[in-house]
Amino acid sequence: MRVGLLSLGGVLLIVACGGGGTDPGGGGGGGGGGTLVHAKRVTAGSALVFTPTPQTIPPGDTIFFTFSSAVQHSVIFDAIAGAPADVPITTNATVKVRFLTAGTYDYHCGVHGPSMSGQIKVQ
């Protein structure tokens, strides 16, 4: 009796550790409210003011800039270290801006100029 060749299929399973570097707390996208405990809102509407201002949040938290009308506004931050990216001209939408670094961030509307301004304190 002969024993046939026993072929060992060389299948190597490489299982990657799924850790992944997801940003803590960054995932909460569209859900309806409640998950971002500290998040605060700044509204810009037809009155050509940001309200309320100043707003104060801890580092790592988020401001929801809400553009509540068809009037065009943007958010231009003073160019200082730690300032987030500007918000381009927006209407009828909410834009999330996350502040990672403690500081005082002055901003104004790029459409309406310095008369429409505000401040975010991150501390």
- For 7, 8, 14, 18, 52, the CA distances from 11, given in Å and listed in that order, are 12, 9, 10, 21, 62
The least distance separating Cu ion from the CB of residue 42, rounded to whole angstroms, comes to 12
Gap between the Cα atoms of 111 and 86, Å rounded = 13
C-alpha triplet 88, 39, 86: angle, nearest 5° = 15
| Contact present, 49 and 27 (Cβ < 8 Å) | no
Binding site for Cu ion (CB under 5 A): 73, 109, 111-112, 116
The least distance separating Cu ion from the CB of residue 78, rounded to whole angstroms, comes to 16
Nearer to Cu ion, 67 or 99 (CB): 67
Q: Which residue is nearest to Cu ion (CB)?
A: 109
Nearer to Cu ion, 53 or 103 (CB): 53
The least distance separating Cu ion from the CB of residue 46, rounded to whole angstroms, comes to 10
Nearer to Cu ion, 36 or 72 (CB): 72
Given the DSSP bridges, would you call strands 55-57 and 103-109 parallel, antiparallel or unpaired?
unpaired
Nearer to Cu ion, 73 or 120 (CB): 73
